Amino acid sequence: MDRILPRDVLRGSPTVTTSDVDDAHAKIAELFCRHRLMPQAPERSLAMKLRSLHRGDVGIDFLDYGAEVRIDPEGLENFLLVQVPLAGRARMKVGSNIVESSPRVATIPPMDRPFSMVWDLGAPHLIVYVSRPALAAVAEKLYGHDATDDVDPGYSMDLVSAPGRAFLRSVIELHDDMITGAPQASHYVHRLLVDTMLSRLLMATDKSPATAGIGTPVFERSLIRRFRELLERHASEELAVTDLAEHLGVSMRTLQTALRSEFGATPSELLRKARLNRARELLLGADPGDETVIAIAARCGFSHPGRFSSSYLTAFGELPSESLRR
């Protein structure tokens, strides 16, 4: 796992500091939920540092209490947190279950059960905030049914496993997008990064049905359906097949196997076919005085006009220029 340094989390964002327990409690309660905050050292003081950036259904936070503390939340209910110690250790107790966390293991507090946590001195955390409806929406796309009540990611995530590392990479990509503060860039890019991060979260957790179901008919039908939806929405954009596989939360081999079984074609072939179909729609509907074959080809993701013309002729029995003149 690539090491994330505390100073790099939301670098450039304002840092809220306080040494007062009541002030710290109020700030965290406003951000997350009501809770009890109890420093464990005799002097009962803090050196809290907080940086926070939330956008829509997701947020990224840096929190360091600067002391050993016990935290007893009242309940999360409408959101989920993934808590990654950037150094040191922390513990979470849920009923009889105790989860030890470190830079190698993140904790995922339950949304609907009481729990308590102890963060050691020197355990700054990166916290990923996700709204419950957003997670359920992505789970429904992954599993192919109403998954509102099925989102149960367990209490921990192994950050050194391949799925855990993929989740962390997606968090870093989302983090970097959020701190650029370029609102026009990219509502689409932001949404894609959010969906990718949520898919990887579900794939990385022990109780994810997606992980358990890979290779089953239900999983493959869901994967094929989601791949077709992606093609319909984004085929003409600058996306490689590897980008599609990452967004779907599966390996290239898994995607290739499912699509070859269903369509007898590779992901690349299906992506090219979708782009050709979109190009034909645009060519047939365009005014030859206003549009060119090269411009439409580029808009549909074809960077080599000669190859585009050849593929188009093979697919439709006429040159793109002939379709444009119709």
Quote the longest CA-to-CA distance of the chain.
Answer: 84
Residues 66-91 pLDDT 10s: 999 999 998 787 899 999 999 999 99
How far apart are the C-alpha atoms of 65 and 42, rounded to whole Å? 15
Domains and CATH numbers, the chain: 6-131 (2.60.120.10), 156-269 (no CATH), 273-324 (1.10.10.60)
- Quick one: CA dihedral 282, 229, 165, 85, positive or negative? positive
Pair of tokens at residue 240: 């490689």
- SS3 for 51? strand
* pTM across the whole model: 0.65
Per-residue pLDDT of the chain in tens (326 residues, 90 and over written 9): 457 899 999 999 999 999 999 999 999 999 999 999 999 987 778 999 999 999 989 999 999 999 999 999 987 878 999 999 999 999 999 888 899 999 999 999 988 788 999 999 999 999 999 998 898 888 877 765 455 455 567 889 999 988 899 999 999 999 998 988 655 546 778 888 999 999 899 888 844 444 444 445 556 777 788 888 888 777 777 777 887 887 777 777 778 888 888 888 888 889 889 889 989 999 998 888 888 999 999 888 888 889 999 999 999 999 999 998 87
pLDDT of residue 208: 42
